[in-house]
Chains A and B, each alone.
Chain A
Amino acid sequence: MTTCATTQVDLTKVKPYGDALNDGKVQLAFTLPVPYGEEAEECAKQYARKLGFEEPNVAYYCELTNGYTFFNVYGAAQATIDFTQIVVPKVEGDVYDRVACGEWIEENIGRDIVVVGASIESDAHTVGIDAIIQMKGFHGHFGLERYKNVVAYNMGSQVPCEALIAKAKEVNADAILVSQTVTQKDIHIMNLTKMAELMEAEGLRDKVILTCGGPRISHELAQELGYDAGFGPGKYADHVMSFVMQEVQKRGWEKKADIADR
């Protein structure tokens, strides 16, 4: 006789959990470009089946406009994933809070760490770079301007890559923080690639730590694009500075405040 509510999870074969283990229950909300009616409902069911969901249930559907129907569908997913085989690249190193970062830099680097940040090219959004650099920070995490032993320059939005690089050289930045918010038609990929290529062309790729951030950026994507680190949702100034300062130490730049010496 079993004494617990469910059997043990098999982590080599996980599937969604609704209210019982392995029921596979998933909620989907989507629109089909078909006219509203019973045929539309059937179409959504068949589509959900094709996606691999058993017992699709169209809980709600309605017309959005002529020729477009919206669905809220539940189904039982069949596919499973081996959780034990998952590998996610993560930003290395420990994470320290603001005060600890300041102390760590003083003890381990012995000079100010300089960073320059901007939302580059066509992107007019400052919200990301402001959240990291501006004194106020975001969601209770103060920005880099408030950190001890850190000098941070915020160039704002729509900054050409060339201008960002020029500023980094001018102030001998240890790290560049690139922010990208707009992702329509993968414009962020184009902009980030341009930045990485220009850094390479300027011979700065190994002399300045290059990082990027934004709501649709992951560390994995950042690495694919040739960045040292990427910071997505839920990452704040403390994450960024913890990475940068440990990277400065790893690269032995304690006494190399000047880019020319690196």
Chain B
Amino acid sequence: MKSKLNLDVKVVESARQHAANIAHDMQEFIEKHTTVSTERTIVRLLGVDGVDDVDTPLPNVLVDHLKDAGALPTGAAYWIGNAIVQTGKTPQEIAEEVAAGNLELTKLPTCAVEEAAEALKPAIAKTFEQIDMQIAKRKEYLDTIGEGKEPYIYVIVATGNIYEDVIQAQAAARQGADIIAVIRTTAQSLLDYVPYGPTTEGFGGTYATQENFRIMRKALDEVGEEVGRYIRLCNYSSGMCMPEIAAMGALERLDVMLNDAIYGILFRDINMQRTLVDQFMSRVIIGYCGIIFNSGEDNYLTTDDAIEAAHTVTASQFINEQFAVLANIPEEQMGLGHAFEMDPETEDGFLLELSQAQMAREIFPKARLKYMPPTKFMTGNIFKGHLQDALFNLVTVWTNQSLLLTGMLTEAIHTPFMQDRYLAIENAQYIFNNCRHIGEEMEFKKDGIIQKRAQEVLAKADALLEEVEKEGLFSTIEKGIFGGVKRPFDGGHGLEGVCTKGENYFNPFIELFMDHE
């Protein structure tokens, strides 16, 4: 593809190389550590589900049991494998026995690591059967009923009640939505467990539970068959339970998951060691399952200025890309994020937005770029808001963005009404159709405002990445370079759930999930 922005390929390569070095540097740290959430993910993938008599999820019961016994450095996989060898029970039965207080995993006689690994194989095979079935089912749908054209129209539902969400989601699909995201209840990111079962109460969203995933998946498959388009389901592999939710998404066929290597650190004050270890586990799962991840760079622009901090978005996209490469995620599943968040009072602001979006497309040509609508400067003036969204939609189609998080005219007032979603989708469809090939027709003036702006932002991103490489990612975050938010290495939520791997530690899933084209 010829660069319309006249970007210097060498600068792009340099920035990418810095990001690769940053990610590799972190990977050394990641590989030496595990976390309670990563271990609970392993436990879930071994088939453990359900809650105890006080509603604590069994994966938490089991991992806390190991942590309290100081046995976490060896990893849950070993202890469950060993328990299978010693008791002949299944992982689920073992978890139930532990919950009932009838079994202490670390008091059992111990077998060799190889023997424990061997004992896990039937449980692992069963999980992969389910996951592979879901991957095949998605492929079958895409081959038969097909899908909407890109940019995919992505809307949110957020009623708090999964059954009400179903009504809203099916309505949105009939109106033209291609992706339904079920927004999580506002406090979930900091819960150190995943709630269980169907839920009907939430604030600003609905709990992410495996049962809720199942209910919505079924509803979207139904409406997808009705409208003749596969409808993708999106949820959040983020927060304190990032990898566990990725595993649930793999089992229940989610198609898109919000997942960012550093978002939780900056915006939810989750400890950086915890997040970086967790993102790796979640991303190897996402990569295997054909799930598109969405990174959260758009959020930088809600706390920082979209014009001044544009290069931090680009730099973070490079970093997220390189972490994804290490987790073997294909480019087509990289939903790198950015946003249309410049102050609408800015003269030529539209040109700057166009420049930024076109630059992201040229730097990441195959990525499934996720483009976020204006939120920060939405005021409650729904009439102007609808126009701001229209300009955003125009940039989206012009620069071939992949996922359009559809802007709502009532942003800043309430979670979308059914009619808001209809008006928003109508707005997007009108502009997409009316301007479908505008990107192929239009070129930008040499050394004009648009070209110059992109070149300047790219150069600044490259310089920033060089600095981060020198400094190290941890220390960069401590200094507040991303999103203007500072986080200490030993601060934030969830640090107590991080531990160094012991000598005999093993995680049987990493290798299996990494093994794909």
Contacts and interface: CB of A to CB of B under 8 A. Distances in A.
B187 A65 contact: no
Interface stretch (A77-85, A122-130, A171-179): A122-130
Contact of A64 (B189, B303, B418): B418
Contact of B175 (A64, A124, A185, A187): A64
A68 B343 contact: no
B268 A124 contact: yes
Interface in B376-395: 376-377, 379-380
Contacts of A194: none
A64 B419 contact: yes
A66 B171 CA distance: 8
A139 interface: yes
A185 B303 CA distance: 26
B376 A136 contact: no
A124 B158 CA distance: 15
A59 B189 CA distance: 44
B418 A127 contact: no
B170 interface: yes
A215 B419 contact: no
Contacts of B418: 31, 64-65, 68, 70
Nearest to B415: A184
B54 to A, nearest CB: 22
Given A64-B175, A124-B186, A182 B203 contact: yes
Interface string A105-129: 0000000000000000111101100
Interface centre among A136, A158, A182, A184 (most CB of B within 10 A): A184
B412 interface: yes
Contacts, number: 73
B267 A126 contact: yes
B417 interface: yes
Contacts of A127: 302-303, 376
Interface string B176-198: 00000000011101100000000
A233 B484 CA distance: 24
Interface in B151-185: 158, 160, 170-171, 174-175, 185
A61 B379 CA distance: 26
A124 B189 contact: yes
A187 B170 contact: no
B129 interface: no
A139 B302 CA distance: 12
A65 B170 contact: yes
A251 B353 CA distance: 49
A215 B412 contact: yes
Interface string A138-170: 010000000000000000111000000000000
A89 to B, nearest CB: 21
B203 A215 contact: no
Contacts of A184: 158, 160, 203-204, 414-415
A139 B171 CA distance: 36
Contacts of B171: 64-65, 68
Given A124-B187, A183-B414, A187-B186, 4 more contacts: A66-B174, A123-B186, A182-B203, A184-B158
25 contacts: A31-B417, A31-B418, A64-B171, A64-B175, A68-B171, A121-B187, A123-B186, A124-B189, A124-B268, A126-B303, A127-B376, A130-B303, A136-B304, A136-B305, A136-B484, A158-B190, A182-B203, A182-B204, A183-B414, A184-B158, A185-B160, A185-B203, A215-B380, A215-B413, A233-B380
The 9 residue pairs across chains A and B that have the minimum distance between CB atoms: A65-B171, A122-B187, A182-B204, A187-B203, A70-B419, A31-B419, A65-B174, A122-B186, A124-B186
